[in-house]
């Protein structure tokens, strides 16, 4: 068993892709699944694309519960690795779930459109990865089109994100002349040819050592000269690659390719699986929990209600941290202080939900939830005193007052709000200092307001009106002598409380926040809820 556990841990890789909409996350995900042998793309790419464009509507997507929006993890096998790709909803449905999912990942792949560089959503997600110091790999996509020069992109990563990069490979050509990548460590040029394929199948590949005489047959004089010059520049002027720097997220290994044509996908996947960490230990109240600890332990990082409207079910997604999970086992639920049975596990293989028998560290399982789980809950086998550090709550950026349109159904509205806040769809704040009963909801993506309205009406029968508020930051207040009653400032800031009664201030804009920070050096305004 111990050996089996070690083996299963060593071969697992659990990661998420972070990107801005349209950078190519769906396409790259498909291609990773293609190379992992999990799907055959003929037909499927088209179907998915049609679906995406036919309806910009999240509700349709919600109904389908297909791979793009709400399934939580895709598992596939590649070169004997069991790979878990956690889905981070990244489109308009950008929500706190997107952030939280990163707490279950051991590494992130930052996908960048070569023409657009670092975009706003990439920046936000990058920051969350930085907080956890997880390794970040960069895949520069769409090299089949003209984009920015690779050196310029490296510079942008440093300027905008503050991270140095190490190109593991280097593109040969760009746009229609994009022919392949040069692997700096192996000193090998990989040339690809699409020949009639539109990316539905693995691309043909030829590899030639840069030191071999044939290199002059496969690359033109101009290509070879440019490549040699670029590489010399990188070797002299660039950072040295070290595992430690990559592991701690200080240096990002960088790759180039085109998810659409599959150019560079295999070299990326190979190198990524070699360099990305196997499941790591996680901090608990009892010190770090090693994945090879034979006792099972895991934490809940996401809850999804009503996946099947006919059954009103809730699924709690748990990341396994240590030991082996066996179907139907019991574990101690530290917040409730009692043993629970981990019922009806499911895992998401490619497009379907399947029932599973066991799971190992790094895996994510969906547990049937009769209402007993909350985000951040710890489940541990035979241990009553282990609790993982909570999953952080992130600071919303859009706010609205919620009013019930039907006073007789206020109770339903409150129940729905409570459940959706447990699920993490919205955060709810009260305004006791204003003597107001109507709660304020905060979300990290504006589309969540529509989700909220729709779900309250369809799942709880409560029609609501939302009055948008002009605030864009929420900060928890830490410090003595904070007086909520005198802190409000018409239109610029307002004091509220979160569901645990902790005080927060909503600020209109950067300026209002800065102003408060300058005037009140004795207080700290923090964007993550203090752990309680």
The candidate with the shortest Cα–Cα distance to 26, out of 87, 92, 83, is 87
24 scored as a contact of ligand GDP (CB under 6 A): yes
Closest to ligand GDP by CB, 122 or 404? 122
Taking CB under 6 A as the binding criterion, the range among 14-22, 286-294, 397-405, 473-481 that sits at the site for ligand GDP is 14-22
Q: Is 56 exposed, middle or buried (CB count within 10 Å of its CB: 0-12, 13-18, 19+)?
A: exposed
431 scored as a contact of ligand GDP (CB under 6 A): no
Q: Is 320 helix (H, G, I), strand (E, B) or coil?
A: strand
Q: Which residues contact 282 (CB under 8 A, 6 or more apart)?
A: 288, 289, 299, 321, 388, 389
Closest to ligand GDP by CB, 187 or 198? 198
**Tokens linked to 202:** 């693995």
19 scored as a contact of ligand GDP (CB under 6 A): yes
Rounded to whole angstroms, how far apart are CA atoms 474 and 476?
7
Min separation Cβ 352 and ligand GDP, Å: 20
**Which helix H or strand E contains 355, and what residues bound it?**
strand 352-355
Which residue has tokens 């990341």? 319
Min separation Cβ 31 and ligand GDP, Å: 9
Rounded to whole angstroms, how far apart are CA atoms 261 and 254?
19
Rounded to whole angstroms, how far apart are CA atoms 512 and 436?
23
117 scored as a contact of ligand GDP (CB under 6 A): no
145 scored as a contact of ligand GDP (CB under 6 A): yes
Rounded to whole angstroms, how far apart are CA atoms 432 and 467?
18
Min separation Cβ 110 and ligand GDP, Å: 12
Of positions 141, 252, 412, 425, contacts ligand GDP by CB under 6 A? 141
Rg (CA), the chain: 24
The candidate with the shortest Cα–Cα distance to 223, out of 265, 182, 264, 186, is 182
Min separation Cβ 109 and ligand GDP, Å: 12
142 scored as a contact of ligand GDP (CB under 6 A): yes
Supply the DSSP symbol for 220. Answer: -
Min separation Cβ 23 and ligand GDP, Å: 5
Taking CB under 6 A as the binding criterion, the range among 173-181, 257-265, 322-330, 423-431 that sits at the site for ligand GDP is 257-265
122 scored as a contact of ligand GDP (CB under 6 A): no
Q: Is 438 exposed, middle or buried (CB count within 10 Å of its CB: 0-12, 13-18, 19+)?
A: middle
Closest to ligand GDP by CB, 114 or 161? 114
25 scored as a contact of ligand GDP (CB under 6 A): yes
Closest to ligand GDP by CB, 142 or 184? 142
Per CB under 6 A, which of residues 443..472 are in contact with ligand GDP? none
Of positions 22, 247, 358, 397, contacts ligand GDP by CB under 6 A? 22
Considering CB under 6 A, how many residues would be counted as binding ligand GDP? 15
Q: Which residues bind ligand GDP (CB under 6 A)?
A: 19, 21-27, 141-142, 144-145, 258-260
């Amino acid at each position: 068993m111990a050996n089996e556990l070690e083996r299963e841990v060593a071969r697992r890789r659990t990661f998420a892709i972070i990107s801005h909409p349209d950078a190519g996350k769906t396409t790259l995900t498909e291609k990773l699944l293609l190379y992992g042998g999990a799907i055959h793309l003929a037909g499927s790419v088209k179907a998915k694309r049609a679906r995406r464009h036919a309806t910009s509507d999240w509700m349709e997507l919600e109904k389908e519960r297909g791979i793009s929006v709400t399934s939580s993890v895709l598992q596939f096998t590649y070169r004997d690795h069991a790979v878990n790709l956690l889905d981070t909803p990244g489109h308009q449905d950008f929500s706190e779930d997107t952030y939280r999912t990163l707490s279950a990942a051991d590494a992130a792949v930052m996908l960048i459109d070569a023409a657009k560089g670092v975009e706003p959503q990439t920046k936000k997600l990058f920051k969350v990865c930085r907080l956890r110091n997880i390794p970040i790999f960069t895949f520069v996509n769409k090299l089949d089109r003209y984009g920015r020069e690779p050196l310029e992109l490296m510079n942008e990563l440093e300027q905008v994100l503050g991270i140095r990069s190490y190109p593991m490979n280097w593109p040969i050509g760009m746009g229609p002349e994009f022919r392949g990548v040069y692997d700096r460590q192996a000193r090998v040029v990989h040339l690809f040819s699409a020949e009639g394929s539109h990316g539905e199948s693995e691309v043909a590949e030829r590899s030639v050592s840069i030191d071999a005489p044939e290199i002059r047959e496969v690359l033109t004089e101009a290509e070879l000269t440019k490549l040699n010059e670029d590489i010399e520049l990188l070797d002299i002027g660039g950072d040295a690659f070290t595992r430690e720097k990559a592991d701690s997220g200080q240096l990002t290994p960088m790759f180039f390719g085109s998810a659409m044509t599959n150019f560079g996908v295999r070299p990326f996947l190979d190198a990524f699986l070699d360099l990305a960490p196997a499941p790591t230990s996680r901090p608990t109240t009892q010190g770090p929990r090693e994945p090879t600890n034979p006792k099972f332990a895991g934490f809940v990082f996401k809850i999804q209600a009503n996946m099947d409207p006919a059954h009103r079910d809730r699924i709690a997604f748990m990341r396994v941290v240590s030991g082996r999970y066996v179907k139907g086992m019991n574990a101690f639920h530290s917040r409730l202080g009692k043993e629970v049975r981990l019922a009806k596990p499911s895992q998401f293989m490619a497009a379907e939900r399947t029932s599973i028998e066991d799971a190992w560290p790094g895996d994510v399982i969906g547990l049937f939830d009769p209402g007993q789980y909350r985000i951040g809950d710890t489940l541990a086998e035979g241990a009553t005193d282990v609790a993982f550090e909570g999953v952080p709550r992130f600071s919303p950026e859009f706010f609205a007052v919620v009013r019930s349109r039907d006073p007789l159904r206020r109770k339903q509205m409150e129940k729905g709000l409570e459940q959706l806040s447990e699920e993490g769809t919205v955060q709810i704040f009260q305004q006791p200092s204003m003597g107001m009963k109507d709660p304020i909801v905060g979300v990290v993506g504006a589309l969540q307001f529509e989700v909220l309205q729709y779900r309250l009406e369809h799942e709880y029968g409560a029609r609501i009106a939302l009055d948008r508020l002009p605030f864009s930051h929420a900060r928890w207040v830490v410090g003595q002598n904070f007086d909520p009653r005198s802190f409000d400032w018409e239109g610029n800031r307002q004091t509220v409380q979160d569901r645990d009664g902790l005080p927060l201030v909503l600020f209109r804009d950067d300026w209002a926040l800065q102003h408060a920070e300058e005037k009140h050096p004795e207080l700290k305004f923090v964007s993550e809820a203090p752990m309680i």
